[in-house]
Structure 1
Amino acid sequence: MAFALPLLLSACEGLPRDPAGTLARVEKNHIFTVGLVAGAYESPAARRLLAEIAKRTRARPQVIHGPQEVLLEHLSQGRADLVIGSFSEASPWETEMAFGPALASQGAGKHAIELKAAMRNGENRWIMLVERASRAVSREASGQ
């Protein structure tokens, strides 16, 4: 048992993981690519989120603009690290993307449209960083 414990602990090093290395690449290159869906950049919450991510990673955002579907396709192909836009609870991308906490919302219930960040599934270190940054900049996301 004493021999197995160090092996088990070393296997946990670096958890959670990013299979595509998103967070490590962002921290190394000091840049992250963010797709902004029309209207997202005008949101103070979206600007605060980008500033918070930049502060936490010491990287600057490289912004691309476009329609939601095009930007989400870039994200799924690894050509963007993050997409910020307004998404419904029933987004067809819900199973393919990880969505951060809402930065702002309009409407209620299943008809609510939420401004939030989308990230590639599986990039868990990156997802955790973006979720923490989202909560830090949004009273709504932190439950206040």
Structure 2
Amino acid sequence: MRHSFILPVLLSLVACDALPRDPGGTSTRIEQTRSFSVALADPSVRSAPEVGKLIREIERRTNAHPQWRAGLGEKLLQQLDHGSLDLLIGRFTADSPWATAVAFGPALSSSGPKDAPIELKAAMRNGENRWIMTVERASRAISTEARNQ
């Protein structure tokens, strides 16, 4: 009787290791290829120190290297939504029309008025929860580092 209880518990613990999941396989692909695709919604954000810090932190957490892609705004958001781009970094407002189509990470920095800030942050494909969690943790790590300096 005791063994019949232990086996399901062990199986469920093993299954938990795969959570959260990426239905599109983003994290698995990044682990296998050791690269992730990234673009800037606006080339001017390249000079923001938070961008380099975020990329380095994601590299550290994934053992993968960025593959930079060129493009601008709307087209890049479409690529992100379709899964042909892993990460988009840019300045976004809270009322961005893409707020329901993509997952935004925590703000790396913000500017503008407090009631309508423009936030520098990463965007990921909705539903790729393991990848989103990785980027969110990396974003929080560098945001915390900046506040402590």
TM-score normalised by the chain length of structure 1: 0.89
1:51 aligns with 2:56: yes
| Aligned pairs for 1:17-96 within 5 A | 17-38=21-42, 39-96=44-101
Q: How many residues align?
A: 144
Cα distance in 1 between the residues matched to 2:100 and 2:145: 23
Within the candidate set 116, 125, 135, 1:130 is matched to 135
1:139 aligns with 2:144: yes
State the SS of the aligned residue for 2:47.
Answer: coil
The worse-fitting range, judged by mean Cα deviation, of 102-111 and 90-99 is: 102-111
Residue type matched to 1:20 in 2? G
CA RMSD of aligned residues (A): 2.1
Provide closer, same or farther for how the CA distance between residues 117 and 61 of structure 1 changes in structure 2, counting only shifts above 3 A. same
The C-alpha deviation readout for 1:82-134, integer Å capped at 9, x for no partner, is 10000000011111111101011002334210000000111111011101111
Cα distance in 2 between the residues matched to 1:142 and 1:123: 28
Deviation of the 1:55 alpha carbon: 1.3
State the SS of the aligned residue for 2:90.
Answer: strand
Deviation of the 1:12 alpha carbon: 3.0
Cα distance in 1 between the residues matched to 2:40 and 2:54: 12
What corresponds to 1:101 in structure 2? 106
Q: Identity percentage over the alignment?
A: 52
Residue type matched to 2:24 in 1? A
Within the candidate set 14, 21, 33, 2:18 is matched to 14
Between Structure 1 and Structure 2, whose CA radius of gyration is higher?
Answer: 2
Say which structure is richer in helix: 2
Provide closer, same or farther for how the CA distance between residues 11 and 55 of structure 1 changes in structure 2, counting only shifts above 3 A. closer
Cα distance in 2 between the residues matched to 1:70 and 1:143: 36
Provide closer, same or farther for how the CA distance between residues 57 and 8 of structure 1 changes in structure 2, counting only shifts above 3 A. closer
1:119 aligns with 2:102: no
CA contact (8 A) 1:102 1:141 kept: no
